[in-house]
Amino acid sequence: MTAALTAPREAPDRVLPPGPSPGRARYLTLVLVLVLAGSYAGLLISNQMTAPATVTCLVKVRDSGNVSLSRFQACFARFDSQRMAAEAAGGFAVLPPGLLLMWLLPWRLARRAGPLTRAPENWQQEALRMARGGTRRRVVVEFGRLGLREPFTVPTPRGFRIILPWGVRKLPYEQWKAVLRHEIEHAVAGDVSLVWLTRGVWWTLPAALLAPVLARVGAAWADSTSPVDTLARPFWAEYGLRAVGLLLLTALMSAAVLRSREHEADLHAAAAEGGALAAVLRGNPASRPPWWRRVSANHPSPARRLAALADPSAALRVTTLETVAAGAAVAMTLVAVQRIFLSSSLDTSAPLIAGLLGGVLFAFGWAGAVWRTVGARPGTSVRGPLLGLAAGTAIGMVGGLWNTGLTLSAPLYGWPSLFLVPLLVANAGACSAALAGLWARTGPGRRRFPRFSAHLANIVLFVGALWIGHGVAIIVRLDIVRAVVLGAQSGPWTTPAAVALAVVSLIAWRWTRGSGIAASGGGLLLHMGIGLTAGSVAATLRWATTPAFEARRPFYSLEVDCWTAVGAGLCCVVVLLLVSGREGLGRSLAVAPVATAITSAILWVRFVTEWKHLALAAKIYAVRPLAQLALCLLVVVLLAAFLPSGGSKRRFAPVTVLAATALLSFALVAALVFLAPRVPHGLLKQLPMAATAIAGDV
C-alpha cells in the first residue's frame, strides 16, 4: 500500500477546518463573468449597427464650424439607450438558456446513467435522516446501471436526486451509508444548482460570443467586402483570443472549485461516519492520472481524497494559482460593471457600485478560503495567495473581454489604477489574513466561526481598498504630489474609510484579548498601553512644539496635525511587527486606530478656545487622520506577510515595548515638525479652505 493510501488519522483530526466555504461565492463570480461577457457581445452588435450614424454625426459637427466637446458627446449620447438595451439583451441571451441547461444537463446525465431504479425504503429513510436540518428540499435516492462507477447528485425542481452505482448495494452497511452521506453533504451545501448553472451558462456563452463575428461577416457580405479581410483585423483576433482565454479560465476555475467541494463533502462524511469512507476509497484503483487530467478533472482521484482525509488542512489550503484565477475573475467582473455604468446615467457612481460588488466577491470568494486555511492551521503563511491575488487582479483588469481594442491604451482610470488597485487589494487581503490569525488564536472556542463579524470585516476591507484605490488613482493622474500628501483625506471615500477602519479595529480588539506579546504577561492591557503611549507622546510633543509660522498658514497646522496622528498609529504597527513578527499585524489593526484617535482628540482640544466652528473641526480631526491611516495601512502592510512568524526569538518585557513606542513616536513627530517649514508653499495650496473654514477666517 502506498503512502498516499494510508488510513486517515483518528476522527478528531478529520473535522472540516472551521470557516466558510468559498465555493458558492466563486460559482456566483463565474456566472457573473460569463453573463457580463454575453452583454459585451450584445454591445459589439449594437456598435456595428450604430457606427455609421455616429460617424456621420461626428463629421457634421466637425464641418459645422461650431466644434465643442458637448456636441461630440451628443453624437454618442443619441444611442445610449440602444447600447444599454443591447447589453441587457446580450446578458439575457446567455442567462435564460443557461437556466434551461441547468435542468437539461443533469437530466441528460441521469438518463445516461439509467435505467434508474428507486432505492429501497430503508435507503430513503436514511437519506431523509441525514438531510434533516440541512435542507428542506426533497431527496430521492436511485441506483444507476451496472457500468456506472461514480455517484452524483443532480437538482430537480422540487429537490435532489442522488444516483448511486449499482455496486454500492454490495457494500457493508457502514460503507454505503458513508457514500450516501457524501452525496447528502453536496445537497446540504446548497450549491448543487449553482454548479449546473455555471455549466449551463458556460455552454451557452460561445454562441453569444460568436454572434458579433457572424454579424460582422454578414455586414461585410452586404457591403461586398471580403469577410476574411474584415475578420483579419487586429480587433477581431484580439477578441477571439480574449474569448478563448475567458472560457478556459472559467472552466479551470469551475473544476478547481468542484474538486474542493468534493474534499469538503468527504470530510463531513468522515466526521459523521468514521473510517467507512476511507475503506471505500481504498477499494478503488490507486492510479495517478497525468497532470493535465488532474488540472481539468471535476473529481479528485481516490488517492488524493484519502490524502485529504489524512490531512484536511493541507488538502483545502488555498493555493497561489487558485487565487490568481479568483482575482482575475473578480477583476474582470469589476471592469465590466464599471464600463457598463460609465456609459449610462449612473457614470459617477460606477466606481462605487463596482467596488461594492467586487469587494463582496473578494470577501466571500478569496477571504473565505484564507480564513478556512488559517483556521485549520494557525500561523500558516499566505504569502503566495496574497501575491496571487495581486497578480490575478492586475491580469483581470487588462485581460478581460471588455478591454478588447484597448490593449495599447491606458486601463480604466489610467495606468496608476493598474498598480494601485491590485496593491491595495493585496494589502486588504493581508489585513484579512491577519484578522483570521487573531481569530484562530482566541482559544478553544475558535472552532465556532464568527460569521457576522468576519464577513463584515472582510467586506469592509475589500470594498474600502477598491474605492480608495480607484479614487487615489484618479488623483495621481491629476497631481501625483497632491495624491502622496493627501491620499485618502480628500474625496468622497474619506468618511467611509475612517468608519471602515474603526469597524475593523473594533473587530480586531474582540479577538486580541488573551494574545500577549511579552513573556512576562502582555495581553489586553499591554496593547492598550501601546496605543495610549504612542498617542499621548505624539500629541504632547506636537502641542509643545507648534512653530510660529503656522499662525500665518493654518492649513499647514492642519496637515501636520493629521500626519502626527497618522504617525502615532504607524508607530504602533512598527513596534508590534518588530516584537511579534507577522502575527503583530492583526494586533496592530486594533491598536493603531486607537493611537491615531487619541492623538487627534488631544490636538483638537488644544485649539478648543480658538476654533470658530468646533463641530466642523471635530469632524475633520476625527475623520481625516483615520482615513489617511487606512490608506497607509493598505499600502504597506503587505510587507508584514513576509516577516517571520513570532518576530524576534528574544522576549521583550512590557516596559521595553512601551519605551520603544514612546521613543519612536517622539522621533517621528520631531521629524514632522522639523520638515514642515521646509515644505514648499505651493505644495498645499489647495488646502486652505478646510483649515480657514474651521478657524473662522471665511
Q: What pLDDT, on a 0 to 100 scale, did the predictor assign at position 28?
A: 92
Backbone angles phi, psi at 499, to 5 degrees: -65, -40
d(C-alpha 657, C-alpha 653), whole Å: 7
User: Residue 534: how many CB atoms within 10 A of its CB?
Assistant: 33
d(C-alpha 344, C-alpha 354), whole Å: 14
SS (H, E, C) 514-547: CCCCCCCCCCHHHHHHHHHHHHHHHHHHHHHCCC
Q: Mean pLDDT, to the nearest integer, of 305-319?
A: 80
Shortest CA distance to 94 belongs to which of 23, 245, 231, 199?
A: 199
pLDDT band at residue 221, thresholds of 50, 70 and 90? confident
pLDDT tens-digit readout, 42-70: 988 888 887 777 777 777 777 777 766 67
Contact partners, residue 347, CB within 8 Å, separation at least 6:
341
Measure the CA angle with vertex 669, ends 666 and 671; round to 5°: 105
Q: What pLDDT, on a 0 to 100 scale, did the predictor assign at position 680?
A: 53
Exposed / middle / buried, residue 90 (Cβ in 10 Å: 0-12, 13-18, 19+): buried
Higher-confidence residue of 686 and 254: namely 254
What are the extents of the domains in the chain?
A: 15-284, 317-478, 480-698
The percent of residues above 70 in pLDDT, for the chain, comes to 80
Contact partners, residue 270, CB within 8 Å, separation at least 6:
8, 11, 14, 178, 277, 278, 309
Shortest CA distance to 451 belongs to which of 357, 358, 383, 375?
A: 375
Q: What pLDDT, on a 0 to 100 scale, did the predictor assign at position 297?
A: 65
Contact partners, residue 230, CB within 8 Å, separation at least 6:
216, 217, 220, 236
Mean pLDDT is lowest, of 29-43, 269-283, 436-450, for 436-450
Sort strands 117-118 and 138-143 into parallel, antiparallel or unpaired. antiparallel
- Cell numbers for 618, please give them: 471635530
Q: What pLDDT, on a 0 to 100 scale, did the predictor assign at position 407?
A: 59
pLDDT tens-digit readout, 471-527: 777 776 655 555 555 555 556 778 888 899 999 999 888 887 644 443 334 466 778
In the block, cell 479568483 appears at 326
Measure the CA angle with vertex 245, ends 242 and 249; round to 5°: 140
CA 680 to chain CA centroid, nearest Å:
40
Q: Cis (ω within 30 of 0) for the bond into 17?
A: no
Q: What pLDDT, on a 0 to 100 scale, did the predictor assign at position 4?
A: 33
d(C-alpha 257, C-alpha 124), whole Å: 29
Higher-confidence residue of 482 and 402: namely 402
Q: Is 50 in contact with 83 (CB distance < 8 Å)?
A: yes
What is the DSSP track for 255-321?
HHHHHHHHHHHHHHHHHHHTTHHHHHHHTS------HHHHHH-SS--HHHHHHHHH-HHHHT---HH
Contact partners, residue 544, CB within 8 Å, separation at least 6:
none
pLDDT tens-digit readout, 586-637: 888 999 999 999 999 988 887 776 667 778 888 888 888 998 898 888 888 8
Looking at the DSSP bridge assignments, the partners of residue 143 are 117, 164
Q: What pLDDT, on a 0 to 100 scale, did the predictor assign at position 614?
A: 77
Q: What pLDDT, on a 0 to 100 scale, did the predictor assign at position 135?
A: 72
Helices 23-64 & 320-342 angle (0-180, nearest 10)? 40
pLDDT tens-digit readout, 409-468: 556 666 778 888 999 999 999 999 999 888 887 755 555 677 888 899 999 999 999 988
Higher-confidence residue of 453 and 377: namely 453
Backbone angles phi, psi at 118, to 5 degrees: -65, 135
Q: Is the pLDDT of residue 399 over 80?
A: yes
Shortest CA distance to 436 belongs to which of 454, 453, 451?
A: 454
User: Residue 217: how many CB atoms within 10 A of its CB?
Assistant: 16
Name the DSSP class of 136: -
